[in-house]
C-alpha cells in the first residue's frame, strides 16, 4: 500500500510543479499563484469554491451576442468593455431619435402636399379638359402614344382618358335588387380580360349616363365642371341635383403620385393653361407652376422618408456590429482571465495512509 501511495504522491507532485500559461497570443502575461493549504477534509470544499469563482469570471460569447442583439452596447458591458458599449449605445439612441425626427417631417410634408393637390387638382377638371391638346403640334406628343413602326417617323395617336398604364380609382354606388352596393373601378379597367374588351369607365361614366334630369341624360362629356364636381362631392351643392352622391375618388398614395408624375393627368391642374414642356432625361413632361410646386413638395417628403430609412439601416448595422464586437470582447476577456488549477498532497508519515495536507494552486494569466 505504501508503494502505491508513494507513486501517487510523486505523480501528483510532478503535475503540481508544471506551469500552464494561456493567452500568450496577446503578447503579455504574468502569473499569479494562489496557494491554499487545507486538511484533507476541507479539500473538496475549497476546490469547489475555487472552481465556482473561475466559472463566474468566464464570459460566454453566446450570451454576449444575445445581449448586444437586444440592445447594442449591453454585450460589451457584460464583457467588461463598457466604454466600447457606450459608443454602440450612443449610436443606437442617436439613430432612433433621427428616425423619429425625419419620419415626422415626412408625415408633415405629406400632409402639406396632399392639401395642396386637393386645392389645385380636380377630377372633374381632368375629365373635362383631357382632350384639350389633341391636334396641338407643340403639346400633343406628351399625351399620345407613338404607333409608328420602329425606325419610322413618329406617328402620335392621342390617348383616350381611359387608356394608359396609370389610372385613378373611384368608388360608386349601384343598386342591385334594391340592395345598395359600393363598387370600385379604375378609370382604365376593362370589362373583360381580352385586349379587345371595352373600358368600364368609358361604358359607365363617359359614353353612358350618370343621371337624368329634366329629361336630359348627363355624363362627363356634356356636364360642366361644376356639375361634375358637385356630382362627385368635391364641394357643397344642391342635393336635389345629384342622384348618386356616393361617387368618390379614392385619394390614396397612388392617386397623389399619379397627379403629379404622369402627363395623362395634367389636365386636372387649375393652371393647365400655362402648360410648358420640360425635358427630363430625354422625356417630355407637361409642366405648370402649380404642378411644379407640388412635385417639389413631394420630393421634400420623399427625401425625409429616405433619410428615415437610412436611420433604420444604421440601427440594423449597429446591432450586427455590436453583436460581433461583443463576441470579440468576450474572447479577449476569457484569454486574460484563463486559469489553471493544480493540486498536490504532502506526505505525512503520522497520518493514516501517509497523506497529509492537500496543496491546491491556481495560476492566472492577466
pLDDT at 97 over 60: yes
pLDDT digits (tens, 9 = 90+) for 157-206: 899 888 878 999 888 776 677 777 777 888 887 766 555 566 778 877 77
Contacts of 317 (CB under 8 A, 6+ apart): none
Tallying the residues shown for the chain, one arrives at 366
Per-residue pLDDT, 49? 44
Confidence of residue 213 (pLDDT cuts 50, 70, 90): low
Tell me the domain boundaries of the chain: 2-81+320-365, 122-268
Per-residue pLDDT, 317? 95
How far apart CA 351 and CA 328 sit, in angstroms, is 50
pLDDT at 236 over 80: no
CA 160, 221, 172, 179 torsion-angle sign: negative
Q: Report the pLDDT averaged over residues 280-292.
A: 94
Say what the pTM is.
0.68
Q: Report the pLDDT averaged over residues 74-83.
A: 94
Confidence of residue 48 (pLDDT cuts 50, 70, 90): very low
Q: Higher confidence at residue 106 or residue 179?
A: 106
Per-residue pLDDT, 346? 62
- Give the residue among 21, 146, 83, 102 at the shortest CA–CA distance from 308: 102
64, 329 Cβ separation under 8 angstroms = yes
123-to-99, 185, 222, 263 alpha-carbon distances in Å = 35, 14, 15, 14
Confidence of residue 54 (pLDDT cuts 50, 70, 90): very low
Percent of the chain with pLDDT over 70: 64
Range from 5-9, 17-21, 220-224, 276-280 carrying the lowest mean pLDDT:
17-21
Per-residue pLDDT, 46? 41
The number of helix segments (H) and strand segments (E) in the chain equals 10, 12
Q: Report the pLDDT averaged over residues 104-116.
A: 97
Per-residue pLDDT, 220? 72
Q: Higher confidence at residue 64 or residue 2?
A: 64
Secondary structure E strands in the chain: 31-38, 144-146, 156-158, 169-176, 179-186, 211-213, 216-218, 248-249, 276-280, 283-287, 339-347, 355-365
Q: Report the pLDDT averaged over residues 206-220.
A: 70
pLDDT at 66 over 60: yes
139, 277 Cβ separation under 8 angstroms = yes
pLDDT digits (tens, 9 = 90+) for 317-362: 999 999 999 999 999 998 876 655 455 556 666 665 555 565 555 5
pLDDT at 276 over 50: yes
pLDDT at 35 over 50: no
Range from 104-108, 179-183, 228-232, 330-334 carrying the lowest mean pLDDT:
228-232
Angle formed by the axes of helices 289-336 and 253-261, nearest 10°: 120
Amino acid at each position: 500500500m505504501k508503494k502505491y501511495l508513494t507513486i501517487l504522491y510523486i505523480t501528483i507532485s510532478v503535475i503540481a510543479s508544471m506551469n500552464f500559461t494561456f493567452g500568450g497570443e496577446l503578447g503579455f502575461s504574468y502569473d499569479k499563484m494562489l496557494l491554499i493549504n487545507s486538511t484533507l477534509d476541507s479539500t473538496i470544499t475549497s476546490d469547489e469554491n475555487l472552481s465556482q469563482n473561475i466559472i463566474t469570471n468566464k464570459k460566454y460569447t453566446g450570451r454576449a451576442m444575445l445581449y448586444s442583439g437586444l440592445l447594442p452596447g449591453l454585450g460589451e458591458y457584460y464583457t467588461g468593455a463598457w466604454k466600447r458599449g457606450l459608443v454602440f449605445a450612443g449610436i443606437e439612441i442617436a439613430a432612433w431619435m433621427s428616425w423619429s425626427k425625419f419620419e415626422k417631417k415626412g408625415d408633415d410634408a405629406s400632409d402639406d402636399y396632399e392639401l395642396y393637390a386637393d386645392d389645385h387638382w380636380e377630377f372633374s377638371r381632368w375629365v373635362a379638359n383631357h382632350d384639350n391638346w389633341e391636334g396641338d403640334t407643340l403639346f400633343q406628343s406628351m399625351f399620345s402614344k407613338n404607333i409608328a413602326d420602329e425606325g419610322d417617323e413618329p406617328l402620335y395617336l392621342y390617348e383616350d382618358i381611359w387608356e394608359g398604364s396609370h389610372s385613378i380609382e373611384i368608388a360608386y354606388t349601384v343598386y342591385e335588387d334594391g340592395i345598395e352596393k359600393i363598387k370600385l373601378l379604375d378609370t382604365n379597367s376593362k370589362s373583360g380580360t381580352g385586349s379587345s374588351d371595352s373600358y368600364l369607365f368609358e361604358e359607365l361614366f363617359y359614353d353612358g349616363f350618370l343621371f337624368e334630369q329634366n329629361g336630359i341624360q348627363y355624363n362627363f362629356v356634356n356636364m360642366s365642371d361644376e356639375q361634375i364636381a358637385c356630382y362627385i362631392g368635391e364641394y357643397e351643392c344642391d342635393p336635389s341635383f345629384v342622384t348618386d352622391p356616393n361617387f368618390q375618388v379614392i385619394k390614396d398614395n397612388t392617386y397623389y403620385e399619379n397627379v403629379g408624375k404622369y402627363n395623362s393627368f395634367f389636365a386636372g391642374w387649375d393652371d393647365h393653361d400655362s402648360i410648358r414642356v420640360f425635358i427630363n432625361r430625354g422625356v417630355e413632361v407637361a409642366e405648370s407652376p402649380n404642378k411644379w410646386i407640388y412635385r417639389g413638395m413631394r420630393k421634400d417628403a420623399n427625401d425625409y422618408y429616405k433619410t428615415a430609412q437610412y436611420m433604420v439601416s444604421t440601427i440594423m448595422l449597429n446591432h450586427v456590429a455590436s453583436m460581433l464586437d461583443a463576441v470579440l470582447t468576450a474572447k479577449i476577456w476569457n484569454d486574460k482571465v484563463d486559469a489553471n488549477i493544480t493540486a498536490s498532497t504532502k506526505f505525512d508519515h503520522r497520518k493514516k495512509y501517509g497523506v497529509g495536507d492537500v496543496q491546491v494552486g491556481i495560476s492566472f494569466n492577466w
